[in-house]
Amino acid sequence: MTRATTVRAVLAAAVLLVSVLITLTMSPRLGLDLQGGTRMVLQAKDSDTARADRESTDRTLEVLRQRIDSLGVAEPTLTRSGEDQIIVELPDVQDPRKAAEVIGRTAQLSFHAIQGPDSGDEGRAEAGPTLPDEQGRALDLGPARLSGAGVKDATAAFDAQQGAGWTVSLDFHKQAGRDWTRLTGEAACHPVQDDRRRVAIVLDEQIISSPQVSPSVGCNVGLPSGSTQITGSFSADEARELALLIKGGALPLPVEIVEQRTVGPTLGAAAIDASARAALIGAAATALFITVVYRLFGALAAVALAAYGLISYAALVGLGVTLTLPGLAGFVLAIGMAVDANVLVFERAREEHAQHPGRSLRSSLTAGFRGAWSAVADSNVTTLIAAGLLFSLGSGPVKGFGVTLAIGVIASMFSALVIARALTEIAAGSRFVNDYRGVNGIAFPGRVRTWLTRRDPRLMRFPSRWLMVSTALVAVAVLGIAVRGVNLGVEFTGGRLVEYSTSRPVDVERARTALAGAGFGDAEVTTAGAGDISVRTGELDNDGEHALRAALAAEGGTTTKVRDELIGPSLGDELRRNALIALGIAVLVQLAYLAVRFRWTFAVASVGALVHDVIILVGAFAWLGRTVDGIFLAALLTVIGYSVNDSVVVFDRVRELWAKARRVPLATIADRAVLQTIPRTVNTGMGALFILVALAVLGGDSLADFALALLIGICVGTYSSVLTAVPAALVLERSSKAPPPARKRSPGRRSGTKAARRDPLDNGARV
């Protein structure tokens, strides 16, 4: 076993050990659909500057969403009820009272000059409030010089160098920064230890810190923005809470918590068990498939995929990511898609072995890892770019998706390039595996590759024809959107929240089945206290409400309506706008990255295929009349990542072959690249399809739309990466004047010589 293999094995063992410890010692944070949580109803109140109407309540809701995201509670549900109420549902909250206190505070932050100890003179010039400082001494303050609205950012950090403990650092906007410099400059004109050399930072009419301006600061010079720290013997939790309140800003309206209760999960135990069973069956089928295709090395890759699942789960639990049922389904799906890197390596190893039959098994495997590296790196970097931008620019479920996506990408690369490589290299050193090469999985080309080589279809002979087919598919999708319309779910449109009290207890599963039979299949059902059933649905007239109540009465006996409210969308305008901005910027950054790494024609073709996939998926749901909701949004984001990943793999092979044969027509190069990557595309797609079919057939109604969206998206994405992106690149290259890519210098070549460095595993003997 080589030194590099030993290092990989030790690193893999260490990461797996940490993952096992996290899994055994920490509990996952489950979402509202799996475990329920806390529901609070907030009543917005009129203020001196704003009236509690629909618009100002929506603004208040978005500020609350930012605060909840800062608390680390992912996947919350926030909806406006009526004109001036906000319903907040928090999953798996350990301390509801603490959450209610932080969410409901108004956080009116202001900065004041200190005029001295309390003089009792209320008629003093520039009078401000008189408040006690941290030690309880009453101080006369001047009027507010700037407010919390001027704070650009606030972060909590532990200052070990200065011994100040936990502090909160402030960064101001441009004009507020100048006001801060002026305020601290005026304070610096007073002697050291004089109260007037201090600045009071007031939060909700309480001085939280009154630091003295450093003696090193000159009169009328002041402190620049970005160098301000609030100190005050904070604990870690107090510092973080203060930072999030300041950063979140003041609520546009004061709010009062008028109701707080515990709600049950939106999914019943039967639905959760069915989904878990479907996920296990799908994952097992994927592992069996890759073992059949790649024999021993496939079985080792399946072991690496199990390790990937463990590492990803431990990372999700360790970071406190809230796990919902679609999120867990996406997590299982990622196991099927994580096989992609292993398939890339094994297919390249098969090619190397076929081209050099005398090469050792380990040498072929090493060449496979080396050849697949650029495709693995580029495809995963583009996905990480999207994940980072979704996390930094998005909010709510979009931010949570960015975290989950990034964890999945990093864990899949580690499992393929470290764990799977260590296992296969150890196996390749075995005499048995070398003597009986039929068991290893790379000593023979594979049925798909053999069939394609024998048939040799010229798919790229007429690229414009494929583009016409893709254009026709997009036109049909657009027609569906225009004619049938997009059936937006309650998360996007709002609807009606009705709560009933039944004489007999009714569990969620029976209630949902009864409502589905009455035509309310999209209704979200939760238990809300003893004997109460809460139903959230789309637009509902009075006749519909009577039908809904009758369906529940058939199961629960006498049914009384105890609440009936119109609610706004939980995915509001600002969240949707932020999601679209994040997605648009992610696409542009991916376009720039691909243009630098490949060519602008390849980049435009990849993004064009992505847009093609999105339009067709939305159009398919329009034609089918399926609901476009938050679950569909998660599936759509997954399809976008898959589409770019697939296109990058194909273009990586085009670039490689074109650089080796710069005089060969690009259409011929593209044909070869497509035929060489189709086995990888088919095997990767099959790994994901096994899981999706299991989720669609066995997972129940709760995951049917999620699985359907991904089935459509992956099939369309597989098609577009070959028959849309590549033809589009060929057409664009007709107007491009850029030369073919330069051939990369082999790592085994010395500059100035044509002699290649011999493979260290090759003894040089020839017959």
Summarize pLDDT for 602-654 with one digit per residue, the tens.
999 999 999 999 999 999 999 998 888 877 887 887 788 778 888 888 898 89
Note the pLDDT of residue 366. 85
**CB-CB contact of 595 with 603 (8 Å):** yes
Q: How far apart are CA 665 and CA 673, in angstroms?
A: 13
> Taking the chain, what is the end-to-end CA distance rounded to the nearest angstrom?
28
Q: How far apart are CA 669 and CA 650, in angstroms?
A: 11
Mean pLDDT of the 128-132 span: 86
Note the pLDDT of residue 98. 62
Q: How far apart are CA 315 and CA 57, in angstroms?
A: 36
Please classify residue 435 by burial: count the beta carbons closer than 10 Å to its beta carbon, then call 0-12 exposed, 13-18 middle and 19+ buried. Answer: exposed
Report pLDDT digits (tens) over 677-713: 888 888 888 878 888 888 788 877 767 888 888 889 8
**pLDDT greater at residue 283 or residue 414:** 414
**CB-CB contact of 91 with 417 (8 Å):** no
Q: Report the SS3 class of residue 457.
A: coil
pLDDT at 462 over 60: yes
Q: Name every residue whose Cβ is closer than 8 Å to that of residue 726 and which is 6 or more positions away in sequence.
A: 460, 463, 605, 650, 651, 654, 670, 673, 674
Note the pLDDT of residue 518. 86
pLDDT at 257 over 60: yes
Q: Which among 359-363, 367-371, 386-390, 483-487 has the top mean pLDDT?
A: 483-487
Q: How far apart are CA 98 and CA 101, in angstroms?
A: 5
Note the pLDDT of residue 728. 94
Token pair, residue 86, equals 């906000």
Note the pLDDT of residue 268. 64
> How far is residue 657 CA from its own chain's centroid?
34
Mean pLDDT of the 401-407 span: 78
Note the pLDDT of residue 747. 47
The strand pairing partners of 234, in sequence order, are: 166
Strands 207-209 and 228-234 turn out to be unpaired
Note the pLDDT of residue 765. 35
How much of the chain exceeds pLDDT 70, in percent? 85
Residue burial 191-200, b: 16+ Cβ < 10 Å; e: rest: eeeebbbbbb
**Residue 212 burial (CB count, 10 A):** 18
pLDDT at 88 over 50: yes
Report pLDDT digits (tens) over 561-604: 888 888 888 776 766 777 778 778 888 888 888 888 888 999 99
Q: How far apart are CA 79 and CA 82, in angstroms?
A: 10
Note the pLDDT of residue 574. 67
CA angle centred on 697, ends 694 and 700, rounded to 5°: 105
659: Cα within 13 Å, side-chain hemisphere: 14
Q: Helix H segments across 323-396?
A: 325-355, 361-393
pLDDT at 402 over 80: no
**pLDDT greater at residue 640 or residue 95:** 640
Average pLDDT taken over every residue of the chain: 81
pLDDT at 105 over 60: no
201: nearest Cα among 134, 121, 127: 134
pLDDT at 753 over 50: no
pLDDT at 106 over 70: no
Mean pLDDT of the 484-492 span: 85
Q: Name every residue whose Cβ is closer than 8 Å to that of residue 174 and which is 6 or more positions away in sequence.
A: 225
Mean pLDDT of the 327-336 span: 68
**pLDDT greater at residue 232 or residue 600:** 600
Report pLDDT digits (tens) over 187-226: 999 988 888 998 888 876 788 778 888 888 888 888 876 6
**pLDDT greater at residue 358 or residue 488:** 488
Positive or negative: CA dihedral 705, 706, 710, 711: negative
Token pair, residue 666, equals 């690009």
Backbone phi, psi, residue 306, to 5° = -65, -40
Q: Out of 291-300, 324-333, 671-680, which region has the weakest mean confidence (pLDDT)? A: 324-333
Note the pLDDT of residue 326. 66
Mean pLDDT of the 541-567 span: 87
pLDDT at 362 over 90: no
Q: Report the SS3 class of residue 52.
A: coil
**pLDDT greater at residue 323 or residue 465:** 465
Token pair, residue 421, equals 């490589």
Q: How far apart are CA 290 and CA 685, in angstroms?
A: 11
Residue 243 amino acid letter: A
**CB-CB contact of 283 with 332 (8 Å):** yes
